[in-house]
Amino acid sequence: MAWYSKLTTIDNRILYLLVALVIALPLVFPLNLKTFYTQPVTQVYEYLENVKDNGVIMVGLNYDAAVRPEVEPMLRSVLRHAFMRDIKVLAYGWNPEGPYLAQRLFEELGPEYGKESGVDYVNLGYKFPSLPIILGIGTNLHAVLPTDINGARVADMPMMDSIRTYENIDLVMDFTGSSTVYTWVYYAYTRFGVRVAAGVTGVIAAELYPLLQTGQLIGLLSGLKDAAEYEQHADEIEHELNLTPVRKENHRQFMQRYRAMEIESFLQQLLMSPPQQPAAEGEQPQPVEPRPPVDELTTQFVDFSRAHAAEARHELSQEQEDAWAAKFQALATMTKDINVTPRCSRATGRLRRLIKNWRKG
C-alpha cells in the first residue's frame, strides 16, 4: 500500500489545482458528449411533437433563484421545442420570482426564433392566490388573468383571442423546485381534464413518480440530466429544420441590442440628480446642478477613456499627471453620487473604475 501512502502526502494545493482543472477544462473545451434518453423525458417530447400547429401549452413558472440553475435549462429546451414547432406558449406563476426570471428567456429566445410577445407567447407574470386562478382558468381565463407581466390587457393580444379555458390548452407543464405540481394535478387535471407534465429539481422527483405511473403526469423532467436529454432533442429538431445559422445570427443581433440597452441604462443613471442633503435648521438648501445631456456625457466618457488608455501605455510627465489629475477630479465630482456597480460597456466601465480608484487615492 505504498502508493496509497504517497497519495495521502500530496499537498492540498496540488489537489485543489487538479480539481479546478477538471472543472474548468470542459468549460473551455466542451466534450459534447451524447446522453441516453429516458422514458419520462421522451414522453414529454413525444407529446409536444403530437401537438398540432398553433396548439397551446401553458408553463407554470414556480421556481426561484435558488433552483434556477437546475430548472431553467429544462424550461429553455421546452421553449425552444415549442417555438420550432409553432406551438403557442402561455406562461404564469404564483411564485413571485419565477415569471420575472423567465422573462429574460422569452426576450432572448423569442427573437432568435422569430416569435413575438402577444402573438406567439404571453408571459402573464405573477398572480396570486393560485387556487382561485387555477379553477378560474377552467371557466374564463381572461377574467382571472386579465393582464400580462407588463400590465398589457390580454384581451388585446392576437394570441389570446382563441384561448379562453383549459379546452384551448393542450398541456400544462409546471417548472418548480417545490410541490406546486400537485396543485395543477389536483385541480386542473382532476377537475378539468387538462394534461399535466412537470420539470422539477432532482431532489423532489422521487415523490412525483407515483403520479407519473398512474398517468396523472404525462411525463417528467428532473434535474440537469433530463435537461441535457431534452436539449439534445431540441438540437436534433434545430438541425432537422436547418435553423442553427438563423438562430445564431438572431442571437448575435439580440446581444447587440441588449448591450445597447445596458449602455443606455447606464447613461440614464448619470442623468439622475444626486440626492440632496437635508439642510440644517436655518440654512438654505444647496441648489442641485443639472447633469449634462446624454450625448455630451457619451462623448466625454468614451473619448476620455480612449485617451487615457493611449496615454497609459507611456510614462507620463509631471505636467501630464497634473492634467490627468484635474480631469479625474472634475469627473469624480460630476459622478460622486452615482453608484459604480451597474454593468456597462467596456469603455465606460474602464473609466468608472479609474474614477473609483481616483476617489480612493
Q: What percent of the chain has pLDDT over 90?
A: 56
Query: What sign does the CA torsion over 68, 41, 244, 91 have?
Result: negative
The average pLDDT across 287-312 equals 50
| Closest CA relative to residue 122, chosen from 96, 80, 152, 98 | 152
Q: What is the pLDDT of residues 123-137, one digit of tens each?
A: 999 998 899 999 999
Using a pLDDT cut of 70, give the percent of the chain over it: 69
Q: What band does 287 get if pLDDT is binned at 50, 70 and 90?
A: low
Per-residue pLDDT, 220:
97
Phi first, then psi, for residue 57 (nearest 5°) are: -120, 145
- Residue burial 316-328, b: 16+ Cβ < 10 Å; e: rest: eeeeeeeebeeeb
pTM: 0.68
- Nearest 5 degrees, angle CA 158-CA 164-CA 167? 120
pLDDT at 271 exceeding the cut of 60: no
Of 293 and 93, the structure prediction assigns the larger pLDDT to: 93
The pLDDT, as a whole number, for residue 8 is 79
Quick: pLDDT tens for 182-228.
999 999 999 999 999 999 999 999 999 999 999 999 999 999 999 99
CA atoms within 13 Å, Cβ hemisphere of 283: 8
- Mean residue pLDDT of the chain comes to 81
pLDDT, tens digit (0-9, with 9 covering 90-100), for 304-355: 554 554 554 444 556 665 665 566 556 555 544 444 434 344 545 555 555 5
CB distance 123 to 91 below 8 Å? yes
Of 155, 152, 203, 161, nearest to 179 by C-alpha is 203
- Residue 232: per-residue pLDDT: 94
CB 306 within 8 A of CB 333: no
Cβ atoms of 119 and 159 within 8 Å: the answer is: yes
Alpha-carbon distance 231 to 173, whole Å? Answer: 16
Give one DSSP letter per residue of 21-78, joined into a string: HHHHHHHHS---------HHHHHHHHHHHTSPTT-EEEEEEE--TTTHHHHHHHHHHH
Q: What is the pLDDT of residues 136-155, one digit of tens each?
A: 999 999 999 999 999 999 99
- For residue 196, give the 3-state DSSP assignment: strand
Q: Which cell is 192 given?
A: 378539468
Confidence of residue 295 (pLDDT cuts 50, 70, 90): very low
Which residues 6+ apart lie within 8 Å of 157 measured at CB?
Answer: 118, 119, 122, 148
Q: Which residue has the higher pLDDT, 162 or 298?
A: 162
Element (H, E) at 300: helix 294-311
What is the structure's pLDDT at 184? 97
The Cβ of residue 55 has, within 10 Å, a number of other Cβ atoms equal to 17
CA 202 to mean position of chain CA atoms: 21
Confidence bin at 279 (pLDDT 50/70/90): low
Burial grade of 92 (CB within 10 A; 0-12, 13-18, 19 or more): buried
The stretch 36-53 carries a mean pLDDT of 94
In the numeric block, which cell numbers belong to residue 99? 415569471
